[in-house]
Chain A
Amino acid sequence: MIHSSLFISNFDKGEQIMRKTGIRIVSFIIIFCFLIGYVNHVLSVKSGGIYRTQKFYELEDNTVDVLVLGSSHAFANINTAVLWKEYGIASYILGGSSQPMWNTYFYLKEALKTQTPKLIVLEGYRVVEEEEYVMDSFIITNTYGMKWSRNKIDAIRTSVPEERQMAFLLGYTQYHNRYTELSEEDFLRDRGSKMYENWKGSQILMKTTPLEVPNIGDDIADIKLTEKTEKYYRAIIELAQEKEIPIMIVISPYGGIVPDDQALFQTAEKIAGEYGVPFVNYNDRSDLLRINYETDLAEESHLNYRGGYKLSKALGEYMVSHYDISDHRGETIYTSWEDDSRYLYALMTNQQMKEMTDVDEIQEYIQEQNYDVFLSIDGYGSADNETSGKFLDRMGIVDLGYGGGIWYLKNGREHIWKSGDGEAVWFFETQHNDFGVKRTRLEDGSYKNEIIIDNQIYKTVQNGVNVVVFDQTAGEVVDSFGLDADDVYKLKR
């Protein structure tokens, strides 16, 4: 009897110890996995096609009507905001820099798991790919955004020579040493930028490089695509047709086109013809788009926002007239497309101001666009000059005190705050940005004005009028310029 109760008590004790040990092991594993997962998340590469793919997974199922695939020619040249605002087309650009056809194929396979688009648009520039394997950095950016799946493994196996595949499959080994380059985007949601909140994949370019109209001649003999490129080019078309989704292939115009590129496009067009798939090479039709090579290109390879607008408008028109694509404007489920469009249009509007050089025009534009304005009169700057006087007067700044000051105007008109003659500090913040102004007295009795936005001090001229223009829609400093008292109040940027 004693023996048996001892046995039971020892058994209970043993069970208790086992349970305790079990809880400890499970707790350790949960905490450890959480920590490793977070470290992995922070260190992982987020640029290029990676974030574009991750954002794609966040979309509601079956909301994308037009799925655009391809390389930077797709996401730099095709503007989802224009497609939305002009035609109500809900599009998404799923691509990555220098994306070869095989990666595009696996992106498409992955995308069709959650979306059933009414049209697939393949920006087919990368049929020019000559290599069997692209650079490591492009392999990473074109595969690491995919969730773990058969498609991801196949994409890596297709992209990497066999002997190096394991290193790429174990992604952490590729990016663990990024600890020296960690930045805001590694820690914050949507990479800490307003741009990515409702992102639909477009990455429009703002700069302008004047180029000559390319002349590649008319009589160009076809060149065969490489075996691997052709295989996956065909596979993309076949997959779309197997799923009964219309597909069209587009080549957007670019300044650096050479005869060999055109020869490859001709071959690609013939292959598309075999499947009865429309193929539109806008390099042949750039006059139809009214592309101005002086003003519409960012550099040799890509259109800028002006060129992209023209291409996207033409594409949108083609889509709505040839395919059954609905106008989703005003539908609640598509609010994020509306928000993305508003953001991208704000960027384009802001860029126009950055390119202006006339002070009167700038002043009118500020008020027309309802920009927020921080303005300071520094050093011996004053309203005595015609340019500065007119500018300040039109901005409603008439009560100039001795020694200048700082003003904050909401919507370009509404005077919210002014410093007065003496020392002053004032600041406020919005969800994404910090704003502050500081006026401090120096030892010689003069005053130093500082306009600080997101920890950056803006000052263009030491003597004169400094203006910082901020757009709350895009959450960016649109322009920072000065009217220089040392140079007859000329505009300085």
Chain B
Amino acid sequence: MKMVISDRVAILVNTVFDCYWMYGSTELILAAVGFTLQIYCDFGSYSLIAIGAAKIMGFELMENFNTPYFARSIRDFWGRWHISLSTWFRDYLYIPLGGNRKGNVRKAWNTMCVFLISGLWHGANWSFVAWGGLHGLYQIAGDFLKPWKERVIQKLCVNTKCFSWKLLQVCVTFVLVVFAWIFFRADSIRDALNYIRRIVKRPTPWMLFNGEIYTLGLDRVEMNVLLFGLVLLFLVDLVRYKERVTIDAFLMRQNLWFRWFVMMGAVIVIFVYGKYGVGFDPQQFIYFQF
């Protein structure tokens, strides 16, 4: 996750975010989605290393990520993302503030407080606060719009049990999360707003066709490796989502040849395609600073 995907996509993300004023909608959206994947792979792998290291020493740590980008709502997302911190904030801030026990307005206030503080926890920069605030806003809006949404669903006879509805929910949640990550990654709120403004004002859809996306730091081969890595990541997360077990538990259930194939394959992929060695500037874990 870290060496093959995160550090690879970071090249593209840094290229675009560092000089976002040079780029148009396609590059900017690509970089925002790239950062969404980068931070997941980066922090996810960071957490897995911690869990693995603890396990070697006989400690059982809680799972920190549970397929967050398969979440079907922002509330669902926060049940799957950085679970240790979310749980801490729930237990030591949200519930002591009154949680959802004192009416809707108070619940909204508590939610916003938790997310603003969560933003601030990431660093003394207003862009982090804006990121937290956005997530708070998403949840409050989701709560207040729920009855209206249900009425519309009922009126339009939308089937909410089928795959397409679940897919739509996952996609909408993903887009909202990506949007918020722009604030998290940008150097300032002003930069984030300019970044978003350029997505709207400088459309560059032709970048998808004329090969210019390969000039953002990743050439065609590197981009293919990244896509390959993302397909693997998707499959692993799909197993986690469908089977409701962690990948190691899932593997332990399989025959030896398959376990060896996956483990050796993963090591070889890291050996060959991992970003390390001469000429590569290793990326610090993003969450190392928090």
Contacts and interface: CB of A to CB of B under 8 A. Distances in A.
8 contacts: A181-B210, A182-B210, A184-B206, A186-B206, A187-B205, A434-B21, A452-B19, A455-B23
A188 B22 contact: no
Given A184-B204, A184-B206, A455-B23, 20 more contacts: A181-B210, A182-B206, A182-B210, A183-B206, A183-B209, A183-B210, A187-B203, A187-B205, A188-B203, A425-B19, A427-B21, A434-B21, A434-B22, A434-B202, A436-B19, A436-B21, A438-B19, A452-B19, A452-B22, A455-B22
Interface string B187-206: 00000000000000011111
A311 B202 CA distance: 40
Interface residues of A, number: 17
B278 to A, nearest CB: 16
A429 B23 CA distance: 11
A179 interface: yes
Contacts, number: 33
B22 A179 contact: no
Interface of A: 179-184, 186-188, 425, 427, 429, 434, 436, 438, 452, 455
Nearest to A20: B157
Interface of A is mostly: mixed
Q: Which 9 A-B pairs have the closest CB atoms?
A: A182-B209, A427-B21, A183-B206, A182-B206, A455-B22, A187-B205, A436-B21, A184-B206, A183-B210
Contacts of A181: 209-210
Contacts of A438: 19
Contact of A436 (B22, B205, B209, B210): B22
A427 B210 CA distance: 26
Contacts of B204: 184
Interface in B236-280: none
A180 B208 CA distance: 10
A17 to B, nearest CB: 12
A179 B209 CA distance: 7
Contacts of B19: 425, 436, 438, 452
Chain A CB within 10 Å — which of B23, B204, B206, B210 has the most?
A: B206
Contacts of B23: 455
Nearest to A452: B22
Contacts of A186: 206
Given A427-B21, A434-B22, A436-B21, A180 B209 contact: yes
Interface string B7-29: 00000000000010111000000
B281 to A, nearest CB: 11
A284 to B, nearest CB: 47
A180 B205 CA distance: 13
A154 B19 CA distance: 53
A429 B206 contact: no
Contacts of B209: 179-183
Interface string B170-198: 00000000000000000000000000000
Contacts of A188: 203
Interface in B202-245: 202-206, 209-210
A31 to B, nearest CB: 16
B154 to A, nearest CB: 16
Contacts of A427: 21-22
Contacts of A425: 19
Nearest to B27: A455
Contacts of B22: 427, 434, 436, 452, 455
Nearest to A427: B21
Contacts of A452: 19, 22
Nearest to B202: A434
